[in-house]
Structure 1
Amino acid sequence: MTLFRLDGRRALVTGGSRGIGLAAAHDLVRLGARVTLAARHENTLKTAADALGARWVVADVSTPEGVSAALHAAGEIDILVSNAGGPPPGKPSEVSEAAWQAGYDTTFLSTVRLANGVLTGMRERRWGRIIAVTSLTVGRPAPTLPVSNAMRAAVTNYLRTLALEVAADGVTCNTVAPGYTATDRLKALNSSPADAERLTARIPARRFGQPSEVGAAIAFLATNEAAYITGQEVLVDGGWSI
C-alpha cells in the first residue's frame, strides 16, 4: 500500500492564493488531492491556481455568501483547510467594536460556517478532515494582536469540541499553529531587518519558518495515516513554545 496519498480526495483551501494556504494546497496536490482554492483577489488567486492545476473561486469567507460560493465551487469536500488572514494589530484597550466584529466574522465564524457546510457529507462518507490554521499566540498571546489572539483561541477550542462529536464518524478536527513564518503578514508586522533579527534571536531554531514547513504539517493531517489524530493543536514554531 502506498503511504501518504490523497488520490481521489477533494480539498477546499481558503486563503489559498499565497503564503501558508498556498503551501498547504501545493502539498495536497502533490499527494494526489483535487484542490479548490478560495480567496478574495482574483489575479493572485488565478495565477496560483493555474500554477497548481487547481480550481479556484473568488470568495470572501467572512460572509455567508462567500462561504456558500466557496463550498459550491468545491463540490464534495473531503478535506477542509480553513485559513483566514490575521486581524490588524493594536492595543487591546483601543480595538473598536467594528474590528472585533470583523475578526469574529473572518477568523472564527468563517471556520464554523465552513465546517457546518462540509460535515454532513463527511459523516455520510465516514471520512473527513477539518484543519484550521491558527497561531502560536493561542498559547502565548502577542501583546499587540488582541483580536487574533482571541479569535484563534476560539477556533482552537471550537474544533476540539467538534472533534468529540464527530470522531466516531471518521472525521478528524485539528488546528495547525504556525510560529513566526516568512509570509507577507510577518514582513508587515516586522518591517525592519532589526525587528527580524530580534525575533529570530529568540527562536530556538534561529530562523523563521517557511510556509512549506507549515503546509507539510497540514497535508500530513489530511492523510489516512493521521486518522487517529484529532482534537489536537500542532505547533510548527521552531521550538518557540518549549
Structure 2
Amino acid sequence: MDLGLSGRCAVVCASTGGLGEAIARALAAEGASVVVSGRRGDRAKEIAAELPSAVGVEVDLTAPDGPAALVAAAREAFGEVDVLVLNGPGPKPGPAAAVTDAGIDSAVDTLLRPQVRLLGLTLPGMRERGWGRVLAVGSSGVAAPLPNLALSNLGRSALAGYLKTLAAEVAADGVTVNLLLPGRIATDRVAFLDESAASKAGTSVDDVVAKSKATIPAGRYGDPAEFGAAAAFLCGVPASYVTGTALRVDGGLVRSL
C-alpha cells in the first residue's frame, strides 16, 4: 500500500528512542523527510544519519522556546511541516492520593503545553494547504486509567480531550487528528515501569513481566516496529477519513471496544 508520504515533512517529537524512534523509522521507510528530535542531540543525529532523508535536532520541548526552535529547524531542512507526531516521556509513577501541585505542573508541562504550542506553530499552515496529519502518542491509560500512574493518566487524558475537540474543528480543512495508544510495548519506558513495580512489590522483574504478559490476550509485549507501522498508516493518505480516533495497539490488553 502506498501511504502517499513521499516528500512530506514529518516532525517526530521525542524520537531518540522507544516509540518515537519506531515512528520516525516507519515514516522514513515510506519516503517522508523526517525530523528526529529530542534532548539527546547526538542520538538524534545518529538515527537521522541512518535514514534516507532526515535531520537530527537537539531540543527541549518543555523550554519556552523549544517548540519554536524545533519547527524552525524543520522548515529550514524540509519546508513546511505536513506531519506532526506528538510524543513525550511520561511523568513519574505514583498514586492519585499523592498528587501535588508540583506534580500537576510537571504533567501539564510535559504532556500538554508543548503539544499545544507545536500545534499553534504548524496547524495554520496545514489548514491553509488543505492537508495535514497530527498524531499523538498516548497510553492505554486514556481508555482505562492505569494504577499508580496518576499523573500520566491526568496529563494524557487532558491532551486526548483537547485533540478530540480540535479534530472536529479542522477535519473539513483536510487535517486529521488522531491518537495512538500503546499497551505494553517493549521499550525502555516499559522496562522502567516494570522495574519500579518489582521494587515496590519486593519481587523480581521477571515475575512482574510474566504477570503482565498474562493479562495480555496476545501473550506478549508488542514490538516497537508494530507500533510504528500503525502510526505510519494513520499519517498517510489512505487514512484521510480517519480522524478524532484513539486507536489502541495493545494486543487486546484493554477489554472494552
Instruction: Give TM class, smaller chain.
Output: over 0.9
Q: Which residue of 1 aligns with 2:202?
A: none
Asked whether 1:208 is paired with 2:225, we answer no
Q: Give 1:89 deviation, angstroms.
A: 0.4
Q: Give 1:43 deviation, angstroms.
A: 2.4
The 5-angstrom pairing of residues 3-152 of structure 1 reads: 3-53=2-52, 54-75=54-75, 76-152=80-156
Q: Distance in 1 between matches of 2:64 and 2:129?
A: 25
Residue type of the partner of 1:203?
Answer: I
Percent identity between matched residues is 43
Q: Which residue of 2 aligns with 1:193?
A: 206
* TM-score normalised by structure 1 residue count: 0.97
Q: Which residue of 2 aligns with 1:181?
A: 185
Q: Are the counterparts in 1 of residues 217 and 251 from structure 2 also a CA contact under 8 Å?
A: yes
Q: How many residues align?
A: 241
Per-residue CA shift, 1:197-228, capped at 9, x if unaligned? 00001100000011111111111011110000
Per-residue CA shift, 1:153-188, capped at 9, x if unaligned? 111111111011100000000000000110001111
Q: Distance in 1 between matches of 2:36 and 2:101?
A: 30
Runs of 4+ in 1 over 3 A off after TM superposition: none
Q: Which residue of 2 aligns with 1:217?
A: 230
* TM-score normalised by structure 2 residue count: 0.91
Q: Are the counterparts in 1 of residues 62 and 109 from structure 2 also a CA contact under 8 Å?
A: yes
Residue type of the partner of 2:216?
Answer: I
Per-residue CA shift, 1:90-124, capped at 9, x if unaligned? 12222332221111011111111111111111011
Q: Distance in 2 between matches of 1:177 and 1:66?
A: 25
Q: Distance in 2 between matches of 1:111 and 1:42?
A: 20
Q: Which secondary structure state, in structure 2, belongs to the residue aligned with residue 84 of structure 1?
A: coil
Unaligned runs of 5+ in 2: 196-204
Q: Distance in 2 between matches of 1:187 and 1:86?
A: 13
